[in-house]
Structure 1
Amino acid sequence: MKTLTNEKLTIIGAAGMIGSNMAQTAIMMGLTSEICLYDPYPTGLEGVAEELLQCGFDGINLTYTSDIKEALTNSSYIISSGGAARKQGMTREDLLKGNAEIAIAFGKDIKAYCPEVKHVVVIFNPADITGLLTLLYSGLKPNQVSTLAALDSTRLRNELAKHFAISPDKIKNCRTYGGHGEEMAVFASTATIDGKPLNSLIGGTDLSNQEWADLKIRVIQGGKHIMDLRGRSSFQSPAYLSVEMIRAAMGGESFKWPAGVYVSNHKYNHIMMAMETTIDKNGIVYEEIEGTPAEFADLNKSYKHLCELRDELIASNVIPPISEWKTINNHL
């Protein structure tokens, strides 16, 4: 099998449904010949590895370990789904403190065992905060850590395709920005439906204002809908999209959806949130968002919510004040 690179990719949380799907997707997409699976649950991890080895893939050196040092040493790329899973009745934010502590430990492990890593994708919830803490404690540069926010934009595309009863391929540039949570900002001004601006259709016979409002709620609660249908949180879509992100960082096809990125500018500061991003071999960068005043009001509300989550961790002494962050990571 021809692969994009021979550099080591480590998948954290590989015994879980997301992690095991990430591993299979990475192999089938031909990302790298060197894949290491890590999970603290050794029996489940061995089961995943055995299944993948029994697939009969050629040209892949697949290893697995429950030793985090072994897993991370010499890693060039990492995807982590290694937090507690969201359960029915929970919001992403309900996972805050426990997964924050996991993210802090993960960041410290990166700093200790693979400080030369090129890119890290963090997807365990609340991803905006866990990604921020991973960045803070890893000592990496802001362009080296990204989080999975694209799932909200792909859910918007799916809902629009269902509403208009057309192929998703005819729906372009769907965008959600801000937090990957209940306060995300769903933008209409960027999207087109079969060549027509979405904004021109809202309020008309094709998509009433109420239908648009209801559709946005379905996007925001897309993860809850999956749990209601399947009895467990999403795993196929986050696995696929996160592997697409790391593929772009490896120099593969560009990632076309907004991703979570560390933001510090004249509007938003010391936060990880979904922006208009580009991921390539140089990492992740963002550019200014364009939108309507109402959309920016939603984005500002989402930013405020993320700041409240961050500040809750500061107030409870889980992390230090922002003024001290530079002593932990001089890139921030």
Structure 2
Amino acid sequence: MVKAVVAGASGGIGQPLSLLLKADPNVTELALYDVVNTPGVAADLSHISSPATVTGYLPKDDGLKQALTGADVVVIPAGIPRKPGMTRDDLFKINAGIVQGLIEGIAQYAPKAYILIISNPVNSTVPIAAEVLKRANVFDPKRLFGVTTLDVVRAETFVASINGNKNPSETTIPVIGGHSGETIVPLFSQAKPPVNIPADKLDALVNRVQFGGDEVVKAKDGAGSATLSMAYAGYRFAQKVIKASKGEKGIVEPSYVYLPGVPGGESIAKTTQVDFFSVPVELGVDGVEKVIDVVSSANDHEKKLLEAAYTGLKDNISKGVEFVRNPPQK
């Protein structure tokens, strides 16, 4: 019995993510929550012949409480895209506020759930979630994840376009750091099986993984961002968390976690000088079983990339923490 919740289920990421979760045979109950359209999305998905029962909730009538009660996994793609005339700071305040409100609900109604945050900026929204959960005395770092799987998926796909691998997901590539721009660091030197990237293509490949989202925004010509690939990546990570929660062993995927609170994280935190960082995580029934130190094995080229990532992450993390500790004036 697994109850999965999608908070932000009516949006561009939320709908395809909900579809994938509905199709997962391990999900027995799927609860959808959003500020609009969720009953309709739920009704549509409920006609699919897979085991999960589907319900949709709006804020009225204690909808958030009903959606979250009994949840095992909560995936949060909620938020708004940046609109014309809106600064990044405006966008941050809105999405940070949305995430804070949802996490307050989780702290109250589903404190033991695995929490998977997709809402951008992940580098800041995960620290926001941690602060809210700490205040409520229910913070379990082993159960809080920032979903960075899209960076991994892109690295696998883009490498395959160079080396001709017919199935990109057969290559394991650790992508670490954060989940935006230069904070994203693909460790191609640690790919398994090893990949051969021509020296004259390496910088462009790294840049493409770091800024792959820009390709999609440009191709959609102002009509959106990476929603379908993000939904797939979000589902891929959620599926692994669910399988691990049911006892499957040896499941590893990078995720943005609170290093001081997870097994093996303290030494990485000392190296990186940041508390939140994406590293390969071995998943178990309680969430993070241990984190795997790939940082110390980075080559010289990757170490330079990591230095830039540390700088960016420090700012992003402090911005998230500050948002909760000193809320912006309305």
Shared fold per TM-score greater than 0.5: yes
Q: Is the 8 A contact 1:153 1:175 kept in 2?
A: yes
Alignment partner, residue 327 of structure 1 = none
Alignment partner, residue 326 of structure 1 = none
Picking from 72, 77, 96, the partner of 2:73 is 77
1:116 to partner: Cα distance? 2.8
Q: Is the 8 A contact 2:281 2:291 kept in 1?
A: yes
Structure 1, 169-178 or 21-30: larger mean CA deviation: 169-178
1:94 to partner: Cα distance? 7.6
Matched, 1:191 2:184: no
1:179 to partner: Cα distance? 1.0
Q: Is the 8 A contact 2:24 2:50 kept in 1?
A: no
> Relative to 1, partners in 2 of residues 1:229 and 1:88: Cα closer, same or farther, differing over 3 Å?
farther
Alignment partner, residue 294 of structure 1 = 301
> Relative to 1, partners in 2 of residues 1:225 and 1:137: Cα closer, same or farther, differing over 3 Å?
same
Matched, 1:53 2:53: no
* Structure 1: gaps spanning 5 or more residues: 1-5, 322-332
Q: How do 1:101-250 residues align onto structure 2 when only pairs under 5 Å count?
A: 101-117=97-113, 119-138=114-133, 139-169=138-168, 172-183=171-182, 184-192=184-192, 195=193, 197-198=194-195, 201-202=196-197, 207-209=198-200, 211-230=201-220, 231-250=223-242
Give me the whole-angstrom Cα distance separating, in 2, the residues matched to 1:114 and 1:101: 19
> Relative to 1, partners in 2 of residues 1:92 and 1:74: Cα closer, same or farther, differing over 3 Å?
farther
RMSD: 2.6
Give me the whole-angstrom Cα distance separating, in 2, the residues matched to 1:25 and 1:295: 34
> Relative to 1, partners in 2 of residues 1:86 and 1:123: Cα closer, same or farther, differing over 3 Å?
farther
Structure 2 counterpart of 1:45, one-letter code: T
Q: Is the 8 A contact 1:175 1:258 kept in 2?
A: yes
Structure 2 counterpart of 1:115, one-letter code: P
**Secondary structure of the structure 2 residue equivalent to 1:101:** helix
Picking from 270, 273, 282, the partner of 2:286 is 282
> Relative to 1, partners in 2 of residues 1:172 and 1:37: Cα closer, same or farther, differing over 3 Å?
same
Q: How many residues align?
A: 300
> Relative to 1, partners in 2 of residues 1:30 and 1:269: Cα closer, same or farther, differing over 3 Å?
farther
**What TM-score does the superposition give when structure 1 sets the normalisation length?**
0.81
Structure 1, 214-223 or 260-269: larger mean CA deviation: 260-269
1:120 to partner: Cα distance? 0.9
Structure 1, 62-71 or 277-286: larger mean CA deviation: 277-286
Give me the whole-angstrom Cα distance separating, in 2, the residues matched to 1:58 and 1:130: 33
Q: Is the 8 A contact 2:155 2:173 kept in 1?
A: yes
Q: Is the 8 A contact 1:35 1:63 kept in 2?
A: yes
1:152 to partner: Cα distance? 0.9
**What TM-score does the superposition give when structure 2 sets the normalisation length?**
0.82
1:109 to partner: Cα distance? 1.4
* Structure 2: gaps spanning 5 or more residues: 261-265
**Secondary structure of the structure 2 residue equivalent to 1:274:** strand
Give me the whole-angstrom Cα distance separating, in 2, the residues matched to 1:298 and 1:121: 26
1:35 to partner: Cα distance? 0.9
Structure 2 counterpart of 1:303, one-letter code: Y
The superposition leaves residues 253-276 of structure 1 with CA deviations (integer Å, 9 ceiling, x where unpaired) of: 665431111123322456332112
Structure 2 counterpart of 1:65, one-letter code: Y
Structure 2 counterpart of 1:20, one-letter code: Q
Q: Is the 8 A contact 2:115 2:145 kept in 1?
A: yes
